[in-house]
Copies of this chain bind each other. A is one copy, B any other.
């Protein structure tokens, strides 16, 4: 306690004054007063405790606890230009795919002491630009954004930001900085190969909310069928609305109607649609997989347990979030990363819904 420095007395009248008004926000200086040290020492106790002698540290910590002091992160960030914030932009909160990626991000970032500021771009590059501005105004130390569909202005901001940035979900030819994803086009291609291999011949396609990644899957689908001369334009049914089980059922019905039921397999761009198609097929008394193969994408948990179990493409969503986060953290810690581009791969989980053999 007590620790004078000037000449005269000037003991400690401020202290009691502050404490009285339990309203006023407690600051570092209040803690310093209360524990008889300088403000900077309190700061050290919080940020670099090893630099403070044990006795002082305990004394200060006691004051912090008893006053219920909570540091003002804005002041800290301003003074140190370190925000401990990572910005994350995803196109949709309700899509389970992104939720899982987020889990990975939160896991790693949380453990490393970073806060995550999350924004939702609603699948719109313009919205994304606005949101990225918002993120950047928080001086994030790193950024994770989805895909490569940024506006020109947005790309400018991002380049100027000079912080580690990872674009996730898809593999990009020309990433802004780092990139973690997998090859959607190839995955779509491989799905069709698998279906063909199982003896299905007239393979339809069901898609909703046709974002760039879904488009790529469709291109892969198309390419594979063209290669064997089995591509039919009217086997494709899509809608711009968000995908859901209900929409999957509708699209399946409409595919059946528009093709007079000749289609014997459907590749659905995600598992929601696939489940919807499967449930609808059951209601229509179409036997899966005997009369109809159904393949989804993402391999959500239900795919494995539904009857018949649903073939789907497993992608490491959680792992993608983890990987992206780890890369950013490594860069921030100035450790080397193996590569700026990481292909997470995928795996077709072959299950009952496409197994005619």
Given contacts A68-B160, A115-B134, 14 further A-B contacts (CB under 8 A): A70-B137, A72-B137, A73-B74, A73-B138, A74-B83, A93-B106, A96-B99, A110-B120, A115-B117, A245-B302, A246-B305, A280-B305, A282-B307, A306-B306
Asked if residues A94 and B83 are in contact (CB atoms below 8 Å), the reply is no
Asked if residues B70 and A157 are in contact (CB atoms below 8 Å), the reply is yes
CB-defined contacts of A202 to chain B, threshold 8 Å:
none
Contact with B along A98-120 (1 / 0, CB 8 A): 01101100100010000111111
CB-defined contacts of A110 to chain B, threshold 8 Å:
119-120
Bound-complex Cα distance A100 to B92 (A): 11
Please report which residues of chain A, range 279-332, place their CB below 8 angstroms from some CB of chain B when the two chains form the complex: 279-280, 282-283, 301-302, 304-307
Residues of A within 8 A of B (CB): 22-23, 68, 70-75, 77-78, 83, 93-94, 96, 99-100, 102-103, 106, 110, 115-120, 133-134, 136-139, 156-157, 160, 162, 244-246, 249, 272, 275-276, 279-280, 282-283, 301-302, 304-307
Chain B residue nearest to A113 in the complex (CB): B134
Copies of this protein in the assembly total: 2
**Would you call the interface of chain A mostly helix, strand, loop, or mixed?**
helix
CB-defined contacts of A115 to chain B, threshold 8 Å:
117, 119, 134, 138
Bound-complex Cα distance A271 to B305 (A): 14
Q: List 14 A-B contacts (CB under 8 A).
A: A70-B157, A74-B78, A74-B83, A74-B138, A93-B102, A93-B103, A106-B120, A110-B119, A115-B117, A118-B118, A246-B304, A275-B302, A275-B305, A302-B302
Asked if residues B301 and A279 are in contact (CB atoms below 8 Å), the reply is no
Bound-complex Cα distance A305 to B306 (A): 12
How near does chain B come to A92, taking the closest CB pair, in angstroms?
9
Asked if residues A78 and B72 are in contact (CB atoms below 8 Å), the reply is yes
Bound-complex Cα distance A33 to B23 (A): 40
Asked if residues A249 and B305 are in contact (CB atoms below 8 Å), the reply is yes
Which among B68, B71, B249, B305 is the interface contact of A279 at CB below 8 angstroms?
B305
| Given A22-B160, A137-B73, A156-B68, residue A99 in contact with residue B94 (CB < 8 A) | yes
Bound-complex Cα distance A22 to B161 (A): 11
How near does chain B come to A137, taking the closest CB pair, in angstroms?
4
CB-defined contacts of A283 to chain B, threshold 8 Å:
307
Which among B133, B160, B245, B305 is the interface contact of A245 at CB below 8 angstroms?
B305
Asked if residues B307 and A139 are in contact (CB atoms below 8 Å), the reply is no
Bound-complex Cα distance A96 to B151 (A): 31
Chain B residue nearest to A133 in the complex (CB): B70
Closest CB pairs A-B (n = 9):
A74-B77, A73-B137, A74-B74, A74-B78, A279-B305, A245-B305, A70-B136, A93-B103, A245-B301
Bound-complex Cα distance A134 to B71 (A): 9
| Given A74-B83, A115-B138, A139-B73, residue A301 in contact with residue B244 (CB < 8 A) | yes
